[in-house]
Amino acid sequence: MTSPANPQISSRKDPKQARSTALVEAVLQAAGQVLAKEGASRFTMARVAEAAGVSVGSLYQYFPNKAALLFRLQSDEWRETSDLLRAILEDRARPPFERLRRLVHAFIRSECEEAAMRIALNDAAPLYRNVPEAHAARESGSHVIQVFLKEALPQASKEARLLAGGLIEMTMSQVGKTFSETSPSEREIVRYADAMADMFCAYLKQA
């Protein structure tokens, strides 16, 4: 997929009235359905407008192009993932390694439940991968993990925590994506998440 050098991915304006908010929500829901069904290569503003039951002109009031609309879907997904990370990893009523296990299970399950959408978003990534907004959105999840590792590994150096965090993020993202595409059963999801959590915990205990 060809990517423009400097795509405009910011929304044209934020909805301020209830009706406008409802319209944007309908557009985002329709965009997700079109993306999952048609894939990134066949994703168009016209298809989204038709699925949402609005005019293309109404769509362009809020999103200047399909890159902006796809980035909004991606950034919402990144925010949901960051919220998931934060809710689990900041639960100090549980020991750190128990939190890590819960995180792995929740993440793998989420990957499997939304596999079609995530695959399509990955295909669309060249449209916005290198813009500053994308880097900022991705860094949010990394920060949450680093805060957790500082608590879980108080004696480890900053360099060791950065390495551990990077390995955890990359493994969950890449391996989770590949695993989710196999349409695993519930039993397979549990076994896979347990194995990945065992691996992370073993690594952190010797970090």
pLDDT tens digits, one per residue of 89-139: 999 999 999 999 999 999 999 989 888 888 888 888 777 777 777 667 667
Q: Quick one: pLDDT band at residue 3, thresholds 50, 70, 90?
A: very low
CB atoms within 10 A of CB 51: 18
CB atoms within 10 A of CB 58: 16
Look at residue 7 in the predicted model and tell me its pLDDT: 53
Quickly list H helices, the chain: 18-38, 45-52, 56-62, 66-89, 96-113, 115-124, 132-152, 158-180, 186-205
pLDDT tens digits, one per residue of 104-117: 999 999 989 888 88
- C-alpha to C-alpha distance for 98 and 100, rounded to whole angstroms: 5
Dihedral of alpha carbons 92, 95, 99, 102, sign: negative
Exposed/middle/buried for 19, CB within 10 Å: 0-12, 13-18, 19+?
A: exposed
How many residues appear in the chain?
A: 207
**Average pLDDT for residues 137-146, to the nearest whole number?**
80
